[in-house]
Amino acid sequence: MGSMPICPVCGAETNDFFMDENNSIVGCTDCIRLIDAWEYTREEEFSARIDYEYEQYKDRLLGF
């Protein structure tokens, strides 16, 4: 048996590659991680709300 395949993205030895819809390799299990889409969306919305409230606070503080 030959040597282990190498990920073209991170250079790690791997058994699995992940491909996109264009059949391009986008990574392996070492450089791609799975995140929960619902949790990510909630965090993005929360962060955007904090940014908005901070901008509102600055506007009130500076009198704009």
What is the pTM for the complete model shown? Answer: 0.56
Query: What pLDDT does residue 64 have?
Result: 60
Instruction: Of 33, 34, 25, give the one whose Cα is nearest residue 7.
Output: 25
Cα separations (Å) of 12 from 3, 33, 49, 51? 12, 14, 38, 38
What does the pLDDT look like over 2-40, one tens digit per residue?
A: 899 999 999 999 999 999 999 999 999 999 988 888 888
Sorted by where each begins, the domain ranges of the chain are 1-33, 34-64
For residue 25, report the phi and psi dihedrals to the nearest 5 degrees. -75, 125
Region label for 47, one of left (φ > 0), alpha (ψ between -120 and 50) or beta (otherwise): alpha
CA–centroid distance for 19 within its chain: 16
